[in-house]
Amino acid sequence: MPICRPFRSENAPNGPGDTGTGDHPSGVTGDTLAVVGIPAWIWFVIAAVALVAGLGLLAADRAKEGSRNRERMRWAQLRGWQFVEEDERLPQQWSNGAIGYFGAVAAVNVVAGSTFTSDGRRPVFIFDIETEGQIPAVVVAVRCNKKHRIPIEMWLSSVPFQRADMPEMLGPIGARYAFADDADGARVVITQELVDAADQLGGDVGVAWLENEWVLASVVPTAGPSRLERLLRDLGEIADIVDPFDEDYDAGRHQASAPVPSEATAPGTPAAGTPVQQPPADAEPKPSES
């Protein structure tokens, strides 16, 4: 028995988008839709260009890091200070300010020395914060003789400073906002002299803070030795404000001499992985021997 097939007009609709007249609404005639393909070699070219670009960025980043390392090392050598390439324990001394904000896991390109202020010589640290393989900031720290009773943070209003364990905001102080868990104690420390000194730090200093016996600040990672020198002077002024020289308080601690480099970490000879430890109360910071 013959099979009867339904009659189909030549111009019958073939599906969605076909008007049955042989003309497609999008301008494609007939019953077929033309597909424009991209040759495979074009995809290979695109992938190759992306690979080269990625390798170029990686090489540039490593070159920049190497340049920063050499520049910091030469600076330490000229100042007679000590230099180590990395110390994972150093950032653990602090938990406020940029250390807590960025979640620093290590300090790299570490310089330990001392600087003169109007009240005498004070120990200092300069180091890059490293977190998730990136360097988001440089931290400069100047040591006081007395431990601060409460941590106080002073953030630029333009910085997104919020984090999980943020201290209580006290309000604006000059160009910055003050944060502390003890409002009454902080207001005793935050004098107009301190506010004026904090305003002089500059717009590239996201935060300055007081913690333990240190005055610290974080600056953009591109800051070079000359900028760090100025920041050291500014932090030294703040240290003199919050920790004024007292002749009755063990005056000899202000007269410590510059640190003597150990054989393993003499200026100009970096020792990778050599930790920089917290110095005792009556001594300046210096890299410890591994």
Considering the domain boundaries, does residue 35 fall inside one? Answer: no
3-state DSSP call for residue 216? Answer: strand
Considering the domain boundaries, does residue 290 fall inside one? Answer: no
Give the span between the Cα atoms of 69 and 85, in whole angstroms: 8
Residue 143, CB half-sphere, CA atoms under 13 Å: how many? 25
CA separation, residue 171 to residues 175, 187, 253 (Å): 11, 11, 35
Helices and strands (H, E) in the chain, number of each type: 5, 9
Residues of the chain with pLDDT under 70: 1-36, 44, 51-66, 246-290
Considering the domain boundaries, does residue 152 fall inside one? Answer: yes
Q: pLDDT tens digits for 171-212?
A: 999 999 999 999 999 999 999 999 999 999 999 999 999 999
Domain count, the chain: 1
What is the per-residue pLDDT for 39? 79
What is the per-residue pLDDT for 53? 59
Considering the domain boundaries, does residue 104 fall inside one? Answer: yes
Q: Which two tokens stand for residue 191?
A: 């004098």
Considering the domain boundaries, does residue 119 fall inside one? Answer: yes
Considering the domain boundaries, does residue 28 fall inside one? Answer: no
Considering the domain boundaries, does residue 156 fall inside one? Answer: yes
The range of the structural domain enclosing residue 95 comes to: 47-265
Contact 86, 211 (CB under 8 A): no
End-to-end Cα distance, the chain = 98
Considering the domain boundaries, does residue 187 fall inside one? Answer: yes
What is the per-residue pLDDT for 54? 53
Q: Which residues contact 77 (CB under 8 A, 6 or more apart)?
A: 83, 267, 268
Burial of 200 (0-12, 13-18, 19+ CB in 10 A): middle
Burial of 72 (0-12, 13-18, 19+ CB in 10 A): buried
What is the per-residue pLDDT for 120? 87
